[in-house]
Each structure stands twice: as structure tokens, then as C-alpha cells.
Amino acid sequence: MTRWLSLLPLVALVALGGLFYFYALRRDPQVQPQALVGRPMPDLTLPALKGGQPVRLKAIVAEGPVLVNFFASWCAPCEIEHPVLMGTKGRGVRIVGVAYKDAPPNSEAFLTRLGNPFTTALVDRDGRAGVEFGVTGVPETYAVARDGTILAKHTGPLTEADAQRLSNLLR
């Protein structure tokens, strides 16, 4: 009996090795989940960055299609994509910013320093809205149609080409 118990750690190690081989080594790390694309946007009410009054995201979308950008002041790639967002705003595209897991004073300082590309800036302090949207990390940008359908998702900092592609979906 004790002989079998001494083999138990070896069996567990082989099982973990098999799990690692079949899951991790055969998984494409470039695949980004697109679960909500083609589906309705979550019906969320978040506090506004300035003033903290509750804002229903679907009410903003009902006024016309938007890009929803999850960002954070602590996110270096968010700072890299910021000039692209400013240029996109300059072309008349409405962008809703959601400060993801960030303190409002930090988000306000970030936007004051770099400029505010957002028609509306909201706060997702605990990250629940990000979970509802399927955010895997910031920055992430979603193209949302007037009816609330998510048309596309972009993970990572936007380039000019990415922003143009998403903007074209909103027309």
C-alpha cells in the first residue's frame, strides 16, 4: 500500500505535464476572444468621470454609433494609442471612454495631460463593466452600432489603420 502512495506524486506530475502539453502548447496565443461581436452590448450604467452622475451606456449609443474605448492612466499602451484617439475624434467619430480599474483623479489627470478624445468618459472602478464586455486587458476598443450591437473588437493600442477600420464600420 505504501509503495502505491509513493508513486502518487509521479502520477500527479505526469498528469499535470499532459495537461500543460495538450492545453498550453497547442493553444494559439494570438487568438483574441470575440465572444460579444455580433451580439448586443451589455446594458450598463456607470458613473461619469466628471461629477459621478450615473450614465446609461445604451442611452449614449441610441444617439448614434460609437467607439467604446477601455483605458487606464496606468496603462502605457493607452498613452501610445492616445494620439490616434485624438485624431479619430477630430474626424467626427464619437468615442466613449471607460476608465478601467482606475481612480477618477488619475484618469482626469491623464486626460488633462494628453487631451480628452471622449464624447463621454465613464468610470469602471471595480472592473465589472470590463468583465461584462469581455475585456482581456487595456486598451480595448469596441465598435458599437446605434442599435447596441457590437460590430467589432480591437485588442491593444489602436493604429491609424485600426481606427479607420473601426470608424468605417460605424457609417
In CATH terms, the superfamily for domain 45-169 is Glutaredoxin (3.40.30.10)
Which residues lie closer than 8 Å to 26 by C-beta, 6 or more apart? none
pLDDT band, very low/low/confident/very high, at 28 (cuts 50, 70, 90): low
pLDDT of 21 > 80? The answer is no
DSSP SS3 for 77: helix
Which residues lie closer than 8 Å to 24 by C-beta, 6 or more apart?
A: none
Q: Where are the domains of the chain?
A: 45-169
**Residue 10 above 50 pLDDT?**
yes
Of 2 and 10, the structure prediction assigns the larger pLDDT to 10
CA distance 77 to 165: 19
Residue 102 CA to residue 92 CA, distance in Å, equals 27
Is pLDDT of 124 > 90?
Answer: yes
Gap between the Cα atoms of 46 and 111, Å rounded: 18
pLDDT digits 0-9 by tens, 46-101: 999 999 999 999 999 999 999 999 999 999 999 999 999 999 999 999 999 999 99
Task: Provide mean pLDDT across the span 163-168.
Answer: 96
Mean pLDDT across 143-163:
95
Q: What pLDDT does 31 receive?
A: 47
